Structure 1
Amino acid sequence: MPTPNVLIPEQVAFYREEGYLLLKGVFETGELTEFTREIDSILRHRADLVHADNMRARFRPHHLTSEPVFEVFDPIADLSPSAWSIAHDQRIRDRLHDLYGEPACLFKDKLIYKLPGATGTTLHQDWISWPDFPESFLTVVLPLDSFDESTGATEVFPGCHHQGYLSPKDGQHHYIELSDLPVDPVPLNMEPGDMAIFGCFLPHRSAANVSNHPRRGYFISYNAESDGGDQYQKHYPEYHAWIRKKTPEPRRSQLYFR
């Protein structure tokens, strides 16, 4: 199947060399209004989902008080029809097809609210050494608010994906030491309608949200069709089993997915 050629060759070459791509104005800001309304309504009216024992929800400590701050729903597409539609939008699929040279398959998705005060994410890579975890895994980021210095924009370390996986292949999630990377980070400063793409071996991090408003972003991950095909329904049971396994009792028996 020929590629759609939405991306120009220079963009494809940049992604392969640097490990990321930043695209401006892929969506009209008005197109995201319904999605924004849906996710705000979920957070406002489904308080039952925002619980530390719910494997859909995750929390971050406040950067000043260390009190837990709700951060993410993973997944979100089963709660929001707009999220499901966006994750399958042809404008995303065509660009990924240009990067892969073949169709992309949805792997997972999450909505990171990053409410005011939430700490950032420690330096890491997204790939994890589970059996059959796709090495073609990449993530598309769609900002619903400004991604900038004050809100804690994602920062990537260009070209470092060429070093491959930098942690032990033991099936666990690991953080990376900054001293192991030879380049300075690049912030993915974005506004609603923009889009960023980065691969699973590209180290990245983010700082705390020190602004007075959320830094909501839709993080959608895919794999190449030839690298495992459609794994979305398969991924989440495996992910939940991994969470349970690494959670000690008695809390393990309290975990659920809602």
Structure 2
Amino acid sequence: MIDECSINAYKENGFAIFRGAIDRSVIDELIFEISQFGKSIVGEGFDFYSSETKFVSKEKQSLLYDRLRYLPSMSRLSGNVNLIYLLRELGLTEPVLMGCCNMRYDVPHDVNHLFAWHQDSLYLLGSLNAVTLWIPLTNVNLNAGTIEVIPRSHLNGILPFKRISGKIIAEYIPFLQRDLSLDMDVIDVPVSIDANPGDVVVFSQFLLHRSTINHSSMPRWTAQVRVSDLNCAWFKKNKYPTGDRKNIFFCDYPGFKHSESEC
């Protein structure tokens, strides 16, 4: 049963937490495969719940991080029937996965891999009603590390941004967060997300959000599933742009304001 209060909160604020939307067995399956894969890549000392794991080299750490998205359980999570039902309840009538489903592994006190305030749509493009499903595999809060969001910021469409790299601007060259950044100060009071394994945090890909430092002694694990809607009229008209095949300089969202009639 989908919580109607959370659906209404999403429609008003651009984000919501759906408590217990994923069965614990789905989370346990992910943890099991991560543990097995970690031991294969890093070594027998790998422990999902421990930050004491000593990576043999940065290369092995990178191998682990970059390949977590390819776990079979991650693929099954992306097509989970409860998530598909939830997406349709949120108005995505023909949901399709974007090529950017992944997993994050945030070790305690690491500041090098935090993301400052940003909008996913700036990099990922997609439909006007595209969403990110942010799924914790461990508890997330201001101590363990989480995300902060600016309610209703999704109503303003693509916000001012600037290029911060020398990457050439060409239609089929993707632009990442090391290439573009927000070009404005965020002065609104953020909301921090507290959630547990089994909860699903859903937010519009136009919503301003950022990651926070993990102050605990354990790693923070989260999965991200990103979804567009093939029935979005704007998406169809613009030939279904996605961030792996196009970039924001060749994909305009002129004067976009949130309107259910547009999607």
TM-score (norm 1): 0.70
CA RMSD of aligned residues (A): 3.2
**Could you tell me which residue of structure 2 aligns to residue 113 of structure 1?**
105
**Could you tell me which residue of structure 2 aligns to residue 186 of structure 1?**
191
Q: 1:175 aligns with which of 161, 181, 184?
A: 181
How many residues get paired? Answer: 210
Contact 1:161 1:202 in 2 (8 A): yes
1:165 pairs with 2:158: yes
The AA in structure 1 aligned to 2:208 is P
**Could you tell me which residue of structure 1 aligns to residue 217 of structure 2?**
212
How far 1:157 moved relative to its partner?
Answer: 0.6
Q: 2:17 aligns with which of 22, 36, 42?
A: 22
Alpha-carbon separation, structure 1, partners of 2:61 and 2:152: 32
How far 1:13 moved relative to its partner?
Answer: 3.0
How far 1:159 moved relative to its partner?
Answer: 0.7
With 36-45 and 201-210 compared, the bigger mean Cα shift is at 36-45
**Could you tell me which residue of structure 2 aligns to residue 198 of structure 1?**
203
Alpha-carbon separation, structure 2, partners of 1:203 and 1:13: 19
The AA in structure 1 aligned to 2:135 is L
Q: 1:91 aligns with which of 49, 65, 82?
A: 82
Alpha-carbon separation, structure 1, partners of 2:208 and 2:16: 14
The AA in structure 2 aligned to 1:210 is H
1:123 pairs with 2:129: no
Where structure 1 has 5 or more consecutive residues not aligned to the other structure, the ranges are 49-66, 243-258
Alpha-carbon separation, structure 1, partners of 2:65 and 2:108: 16
Which digits, 9 at most, give the CA deviation of each residue in 1:82-101, with x for residues without a partner? 11111100110111111125
Contact 1:152 1:207 in 2 (8 A): yes
Report sequence identity in percent: 21
1:152 pairs with 2:158: no
1:41 pairs with 2:25: no
Contact 1:70 1:115 in 2 (8 A): no
The AA in structure 2 aligned to 1:20 is F
Contact 1:7 1:98 in 2 (8 A): no
How far 1:168 moved relative to its partner?
Answer: 3.8
How far 1:185 moved relative to its partner?
Answer: 0.9
Where structure 2 has 5 or more consecutive residues not aligned to the other structure, the ranges are 44-57, 164-173, 248-263
TM-score (norm 2): 0.68
Alpha-carbon separation, structure 2, partners of 1:195 and 1:204: 16
How far 1:118 moved relative to its partner?
Answer: 1.9
Alpha-carbon separation, structure 1, partners of 2:67 and 2:87: 21
**Could you tell me which residue of structure 1 aligns to residue 52 of structure 2?**
none
Contact 1:144 1:218 in 2 (8 A): yes
